[in-house]
Structure 1
């Protein structure tokens, strides 16, 4: 007998159960085998299915009975209102970039690269090896596996110019993803109620982390070449802030990469104010026509707190990142991390380290550069032809996203609904602004699935924009 037979028996028994009072005893398995001319295994599968649906219950040594129906009483959580009080920070809904979609949707919204852009073979092999190693059963040090610390330090040291002191492995604290790192950094270095300068627009997760840390966000306008050094100096002076969060390389969402001169100017302003620069190098592995040039490589006096993640470039399932900090700042961040999660899974660290030290990793990155370039250029060309109302000020030299300005007066909420109804998911730019948006923007990823649908997605977006303008 097969599963169809067990389904047939379950359906017949369900009809019988519907007319039987609660507590009625079902015939024995032996009787059911004889009645339906089925094997005991087939009958057991039918009974298991009915049990899973809550229709019957088995009492060992007694028999199987029709389960009494229980009317669910609505739960009363009103007491929690008084116990919790008002939230310290206003609740913020999950980012559009974290939404899951159906396979047939044209996804321009995601914050993670498509699976085709990941080193899948390397990751699977690394996880298999890590599961057989001591890392699967041992507790790693709070600051991370020494080999993982050394790798992150070496990566930054490779960009350090002659005459500067490269970071040491002991400067590295391994993190379970950069998002938790941002929360720890803001709590350790800024503190509740204190000001934090932050680029505008900027990564929505940094805005979220700042809100949960209770810091006071002070936006600093930032364009295709980064923030104006004079505006930054004025913001430091007027706010009294001692920390500035920024993304100098392939910023999310704009894709901006600061020119060399701008990086030097910003670092000079930070030093002059005795402040910290939290440098989020999230897209280090996603350079296309340029390479990431960390400001931290030019600072050996502890002003730059450097953050780098492997989650997007290795695998979303391997949440491993690191912060590189020097002096007392590093100790404060480590103390915050210990209170938050004690340590990062040694298994994930071992797997991440395995991937990035394989010869195939560099081969993968070279191929990834070409894949991102072709996807980026395809989407840019499609938008300029089919959705010219979505203006791209500058094509990014790396990263995963395009930042498009829309005509003034565009109703973003209506636009996103119209596109979604047509099967295209876009992310409205409002969530990347720490204060009021300076205009209507959307962020579109060229690292999403099915690049063959990019032109169709651009056509739908262009049609929706034309309808919005009318």
Structure 2
């Protein structure tokens, strides 16, 4: 039997079924054999798959017919329990599924990074060579970062500030070795051990890990495609006395959610009223697809937003350069924490990063990257929709690297991950992106790290794992 031939017949019949009325008769097995140039055994296998999926009804001696399929019931919305129960007292933190090694020929949809061909490799290599010939190669850089790179990060924030808002200065931008180290310092310096931190649920697994290592108590609020409900955020502040809210308003990891301008202003007003901070993680600023980023920090006049911006995903994972933009005593505390832990960031890496983002080719690279991300996102979405209809993608992300897919209620997520891996597909279970118990079973599928030509195969594997053929 030829699995590829059976899969092609299944895909063709599903397209026909999609436009056919319930009860319509499909072509006979003999016609399908001739039409697809396949063996009778392969055609029968394809029809059994369609029966197993509930799309076709087989009547012995009569033929195969399009089955009347009732609309799938809406999954129960249990996300409200996230805020009601809070974070569990004991969690186990370990290596993320995104950091797992995989066999060389596996289809990798678990990664947290874009593929090498999406990065500005030529710009990076040239920048590293130039940086190695400067004084940065043999001198210590300032604890707060190279002044020119500080000015670039601060200028990025200032460019989005409306009139009447005082933007941060170059001094307010602290260069750090990646956003993960920045999160650790912010949580230690601004929140503190034993203190509550409001977080979206789901949220970035690395932020959960950093908060736990800092001894911070997580206070989850449910967050959907448009972000959290501002009233839920305010309630969390009121009931816990938290002094900070960690969030990803732009193309959140894992869900791809993007806050509206009104939602961002509403949350900013809440933290102002509560005398608190918004820790804005703008990790995907350069990973826009269908919408431009509009960071909340651009509307912050009085230092309520602590802003994180990383170049790791858009420049190179080998250049772990990011910045924390903060003002006042918060800035000084974060700098003191960073200096105590790592003293300073390599001047060579800083010089190379600055070189890349100030080259004329940087803007060209970002336009190309946006185009390629759109192609990859749409290709993976089509593959999942066609071959794995049991996976539900409620929100098509307008930027970022991932699809956030809901599995049917009651699915054994670890078993699905193991079954996929045994077939050569590596996926990330959604469990680790929840600061408390998951509100439902999910997978996070990265569309930027793998060759899009393999997405159809990935979709078929997911479909087989979730709905095995009879």
Please report the TM-score for the alignment, with normalisation by the length of structure 1: 0.80
CA contact 1:190–1:243 (8 Å) conserved in 2: yes
2:163 aligns with 162
2:351 aligns with 350
1:384 aligns with 385
Once the two structures are TM-superposed, the CA of residue 166 in structure 1 deviates from its matched residue by 1.6
2:100 aligns with 99
Task: Provide, for residues 95-152 of structure 1, a one-character-per-residue CA deviation record: whole Å limited to 9, x for no partner.
Answer: 0111222331110000011101110000000011111111000111100000000000
2:265 aligns with 264
Aligned to 2:467, the other structure's residue is in SS state helix
Alignment of 1:89-128 (within 5 A): 92-128=93-129
Q: Please say which of residues 443-452 and 277-286 is displaced more in the overlay.
A: 443-452
Aligned to 2:122, the other structure's residue is in SS state helix
CA contact 1:113–1:447 (8 Å) conserved in 2: yes
Higher relative contact order (CA 8 A, sep 6+): 2
Cα separation, 2, equivalents of 1:451 and 1:340: 40
Cα separation, 1, equivalents of 2:167 and 2:243: 24
Cα separation, 2, equivalents of 1:274 and 1:220: 19
Cα separation, 2, equivalents of 1:348 and 1:298: 30
2:283 aligns with 282
2:360 aligns with 359
Aligned to 2:267, the other structure's residue is in SS state helix
Cα separation, 1, equivalents of 2:124 and 2:447: 23
Task: Provide, for residues 295-325 of structure 1, a one-character-per-residue CA deviation record: whole Å limited to 9, x for no partner.
Answer: 0010020100000000111000000000000
2:408 aligns with 407
Consecutive unaligned residues of structure 2, counting only runs of 5 or more, are 1-88
1:200 aligns with 201
Aligned to 1:205, the other structure's residue is in SS state helix
Cα separation, 2, equivalents of 1:102 and 1:127: 30
2:4 aligns with none
CA contact 1:108–1:448 (8 Å) conserved in 2: yes
Aligned to 2:364, the other structure's residue is in SS state helix
1:425 aligns with 426
2:140 aligns with 139
2:225 aligns with 224
1:54 aligns with none
Aligned to 2:257, the other structure's residue is in SS state coil
Task: Provide, for residues 27-85 of structure 1, a one-character-per-residue CA deviation record: whole Å limited to 9, x for no partner.
Answer: xxxxxxxxxxxxxxxxxxxxxxxxxxxxxxxxxxxxxxxxxxxxxxxxxxxxxxxxxxx
Corresponding position: 1:245 with 2:253: no
Task: Provide, for residues 259-285 of structure 1, a one-character-per-residue CA deviation record: whole Å limited to 9, x for no partner.
Answer: 111111111111111100000000000
Consecutive unaligned residues of structure 1, counting only runs of 5 or more, are 1-87
CA contact 1:89–1:211 (8 Å) conserved in 2: no
Aligned to 2:418, the other structure's residue is in SS state helix
Cα separation, 2, equivalents of 1:222 and 1:442: 17
> What number of residue pairs does the alignment pair up?
382
In the superposition, relative to structure 1, how do residues 89 and 439 fare at CA in structure 2: closer, same or farther (>3 Å)?
Answer: closer
RMSD of aligned alpha carbons: 1.3
In the superposition, relative to structure 1, how do residues 439 and 89 fare at CA in structure 2: closer, same or farther (>3 Å)?
Answer: closer
Aligned to 1:391, the other structure's residue is in SS state coil
Once the two structures are TM-superposed, the CA of residue 91 in structure 1 deviates from its matched residue by 5.1
CA contact 1:89–1:214 (8 Å) conserved in 2: no
Corresponding position: 1:186 with 2:191: no
Please report the TM-score for the alignment, with normalisation by the length of structure 2: 0.80
Cα separation, 2, equivalents of 1:398 and 1:369: 8
1:439 aligns with 440
Once the two structures are TM-superposed, the CA of residue 258 in structure 1 deviates from its matched residue by 0.5
1:292 aligns with 293
